[in-house]
Structure 1
C-alpha cells in the first residue's frame, strides 16, 4: 500500500514514518494543501491523508483522484464539512475522518481563552507595548463565581464542562440530544436562549451544519449579559462575526475568545505577506482590547497531532485491507 500525506508538520513526520515502518506501508508527504493543483503529487498512490483549513469542494480534484485510481481519502479532523459527499459518491471514493482524537486539547484551549479574557490579558498586552502599567481597567474575575454555558455536549463539550466544574464554576448546557448521567457536571437548560441569558461565559462545542449557520446571531447576542464572554473553539460560521463585532464595540457583551473564524482560510497558517486576500473581520477584531484571536490552533498539541496522524493512517490501512472502517463517512 502507498499513502500520500498532505499538510504534514515537522512534528508529524516522525509519527508518520514510524507508523509506515511498522505497517510496511510506503508513504510520501508534503506540507502543501490538497487541491486541484497539488493532487497530482499523489499519482501512483492508493490513498490520501490530508489536514488543512481550506475545504476540498472542487469537483475537478475528485475527478483527478478517480482518474489516477486513488479511491481512499482521509481528513485528519473530526469535522467533515471540508469534504463534498456528492463528489465522493460520484467518483466512488471512500472517505473517513477522525471522530475523536483529543477532546482535552480543545477543552484546555477554551479554558485558556476564557482565563485570558477574565484577567484582561489582551488589554494588558496592548498597554505593555506603550509601557503603560496602570491598573485601571485591568480588574479580573474569578471563575468559581461564574456560570459557564456549554453549547454542545459531545466529547469536547463534556470535557470542557468538567474542567470548568473542577475550577468551581456553575456549569449549564444546551444540546439537542442531552446526555444521561452528567448531573454531577452540568445542568441542562431547555433552550440555547436560556443558556445565553444565564451564562457569564458561553462556550461553543457543536459541529457546523447548515442549520447551525450563525447560531450565534445579533438576536442571541442581545440576550447575553453585558459582562459575558463568548468562546468559540468549534467552527467559525457558527457565529455571525459582523454581529459579534458590533456587540463588542457597543458593549453588548464584554469579550470574545475566537479560535475559529468565518473565512479563516484566508489567514490561518499564513504570514501577512502570504495572505492573498484580507479576511473581512480580522483587522477590526485584532484592534479590540477585549478579544483574543488564535489561528484554529486548539487541536494543535503533540498528543492530538499524533493521534490524528495515526488514526488517519490506520483508517486508510483498514479500508485498503478490509474494505471497511468505523470512521468511514456515510454517503
Structure 2
C-alpha cells in the first residue's frame, strides 16, 4: 500500500521517507491538500495532510469518492477539518496530539526577544553598514511581568523559560497547571492578565470559544508598551483590530508566527507576486512587528516526533486500533 502525503516540506521529506522505509510506501507531494488537489488522491486509501490543508466537507467528499478511507494529519491542531462530515462519511481521521513543546516555547521566546531588542531591524541596518543604535533600545525582561495565556505543555515550557529570566508570572487557563503554580505563577482572569502584563504569549488552541479572543477590546486593555507574541493559531487574534492599534502607535513589539488567513499563503513562495492580502501587507510594514511563516514547531526533534506519531496512527488504522490521536470516528 502506498500513502499519499500532501504539503511536505523539503526538510520534512527525508524524515518521512526514513520513518516509513521498510514499513509502508509513501509518496510525498509539496502541493497542499484542497479542492483543486483532492482529485490527485483518487485510488489512495490513506492520505496525510498538514495543518494548512483544506479539509472542508467538499474536500472530504471528493477524497471519499476517490476511495480514501483514512486521513492522517501531521499536526496537533485540527480546526481545518470538518469532523462532522468525516464521521458522516465514516472516514478515519487522526492527528498528532503532542510533540516537543520546547520547539514552540523556545520559538515564542525567540520572537519576543527579536521584537524587544529589534534584532531584525539591527541586522538589516548592519547589512547596509549602518551601525547606529537609534531606535534599537529594548528592555530587560528580569523583574517584568509575563502573561502566559494558556498553560498546557507549551505554556508550561514557556513559563519555565520566563522563570529563568526572573520574571513575575501571570497565567490564564480554564484549568490551572500545578507545575506552573509550583514555578510561582499566579492565575488571574483574562482582563487582569491583559492589563498587568509587559509580555503576553498565546498558547491556547483555536476553538469557537477562542476565535478572536484577542479582539479590539482585549488589545485596548494591554499596556501601550506591551509585547504580544502568538505562536499558537492565527485565528486567536483579530488582525484588523491589531493593525488599528499598531497604527495608533501602540505596543513595543508584536511577534507573530501564525496569521488567521495563512492557509494557502504560508509555506509557499510569493516573492515574485503582488500581495493581495492588504491586512498582512500592512502588518508586515510596521517596524515593531516580526512575522514568520508558522515555523515554531519546525525543529528536527519536533518534526521527527510528528512523523513517528503519524506512522503510528497509520499502523493503528491498518490494525483496526484507535488511540488518543483518533478524531473520527467518534469515541
Please report how far the alpha carbon of residue 22 of structure 1 lies from its aligned counterpart in structure 2 after TM superposition: 3.8
- CA 1:267–1:16 in structure 2 vs 1: closer, same or farther (change >3 Å)? closer
Q: Which moved more, 1:88-97 or 1:123-132?
A: 123-132
Tell me the residue number matched to 1:62. Answer: 60
Residue 276 of structure 2 is aligned with which of 275, 278, 300? 278
- Deviation, structure 1 residue 273: 5.0
CA contact (8 A) 2:96 2:306 kept: yes
**Residues in 1 aligned to 2:51 and 2:213: alpha-carbon distance in whole angstroms:** 24
User: Partner of 2:310 in structure 1?
Assistant: 312
Distance in 2 separating the partners of 1:314 and 1:8:
18
Indicate which of 256, 259, 266 corresponds to 2:257. Answer: 259
> In 1, distance between residues paired with 2:88 and 2:278?
34
Please say which of residues 293-302 and 44-53 is displaced more in the overlay. Answer: 44-53
Post-superposition offset of 1:217: 1.3
- Contact 2:229-2:254 within 8 A present in 1 as well: yes
TM-score by length of 2: 0.92
User: Aligned pairs, how many?
Assistant: 329
Partner of 1:33: 32
Question: 1:191, CA displacement in angstroms?
Answer: 0.7
The answer to whether 1:208 aligns with 2:206 is yes
Change (3 A) 1:222 1:168: same
Q: Distance in 2 between matches of 1:171 and 1:248?
A: 26
Describe the shift of the 1:60–1:247 C-alpha distance in structure 2 as closer, same or farther (beyond 3 A): closer
The CA deviation at 1:11 is 2.6
* Matches of 2:22 and 2:307, distance apart in 1: 14
Q: CA deviation at 1:130?
A: 5.9
The answer on whether the counterparts of 2:116 and 2:252 sit within 8 Å (CA) in structure 1 is no
8 A Cα contact 1:264 1:279, kept in partner: no
Contact 2:213 2:236 in 1 (8 A): yes
Q: Give the whole-Å Cα distance in 2 for the aligned partners of 1:94 and 1:160.
A: 33
Q: What residue in structure 1 maps to residue 17 of structure 2?
A: 17
Mean Cα displacement is larger for which, 47-56 or 286-295?
47-56
State the 1:128 CA deviation: 4.4
**CA deviation after TM superposition for structure 1 residue 43, in Å:** 2.8
Aligned CA distance change for structure 1 residues 33 and 186 (closer, same or farther; 3 Å): farther
Say if 2:90 is the partner of 1:92. Answer: yes
Q: Which moved more, 1:286-295 or 1:175-184?
A: 175-184
SS in 1 for 2:3: strand
Shift of 1:266: 4.7
What is the rounded CA distance, in whole Å, between the counterparts of 1:45 and 1:272 in structure 2? 30
Q: What is the 5 A alignment of 1:86-235? A: 86-125=84-123, 127-128=125-126, 131-235=129-233
The 2-side partners of 1:20 and 1:166 are apart by: 39
- Report the alpha carbon displacement of residue 174 of structure 1 after superposing the two structures with TM: 0.3
Q: Counterpart in 2 of 1:247?
A: 245
The CA distance in 1 between the partners of 2:222 and 2:246, in whole Å, is 12
| Cα distance per residue 1:246-299 (max 9 Å; x no partner) | 222223322200111121125312222576862232221221111100011111
Question: Is the 1:178–1:188 contact (alpha carbons within 8 Å) kept by the matching residues of 2?
Answer: no
Moved over 6 A (4+): none
Equivalent in the alignment of 2:6: 6
Partner of 1:71: 69
In structure 1, the gaps of 5 or more residues are none
CA RMSD of aligned residues (A): 2.0
1:52 positional shift: 4.3
The answer to whether the Cα contact below 8 Å between 2:6 and 2:50 also exists between their aligned partners in 1 is yes
The change in CA–CA distance for 1:220 and 1:112 in structure 2 (over 3 A counts) is same
